[in-house]
Structure 1
């Protein structure tokens, strides 16, 4: 695994969502996103990934990327890095699977 990115814990993710210090990005595909995503997540699918669609974080904010289980989020971070986005360097490795296994709620639809 690369050393230039970070993983965020479930608890840190939840508190960052609650206090708006996280810009959350879901890189799964439309059908997966519609079936259930973390409330407030931006939809930027990996198949048409465009790092410019991710807003730059404000002071004290960070961008966190997630997918189903952690593989596509790493791919997305690598693409963002190649694009020059050094601020897209944290992911929730458990993905939506880990989120749901922890009993956390999801939102359906686009």
Structure 2
């Protein structure tokens, strides 16, 4: 994949969130997002992924795509590249599985 696309680990993403540097896009399906998600994440399911619907990424912020295990966010990243997206695209290594395993905070939609 392009050099524009980088895999990042949970700790890096936690640092970005703490510094308010991340625009997080969750490409899982709605039912997965509603079960649990990263606070502030924008839902843009891969099944209806449209690069035109990507939230804006202001200067000084980083785009982070994530899914369950880091496979679907790779497909989403490829769609962004094909659409001509010029910015850096970060993918959460291991996806939500790694996020939850690391004990990182989630919003539980079942409450």
Q: TM-score, normalised by structure 1?
A: 0.91
In the alignment, what sits opposite 1:57? 57
Instruction: List aligned pairs for 1:1-110, cutoff 5 A.
Output: 2-4=1-3, 5-87=5-87, 89-109=89-109
Higher relative contact order (CA 8 A, sep 6+): 2
Q: TM-score, normalised to structure 2's length?
A: 0.90
RMSD, aligned α-carbons = 1.5
Give the distance between the partners of 2:101 and 2:18, measured in 1 at CA.
19
Q: CA deviation at 1:23?
A: 0.3
* Runs of 4+ displaced beyond 4 Å: none
- In 2, Cα distance between the equivalents of 1:82 and 1:88? 14
**Deviation (angstroms), 1:88:** 5.3
Q: Structure 1 residues 88 and 80 mapped into 2: Cα distance closer, same or farther (>3 Å)?
A: farther
Change (3 A) 1:81 1:54: same
How far apart in 2 are the matches of 1:68 and 1:83?
Answer: 23
1:51-86 per-residue CA deviation (whole Å, 9 max, x = no partner) reads: 122223222111000000000000000001111112
Stretches of structure 2 that go unaligned for 5 or more consecutive residues are: none
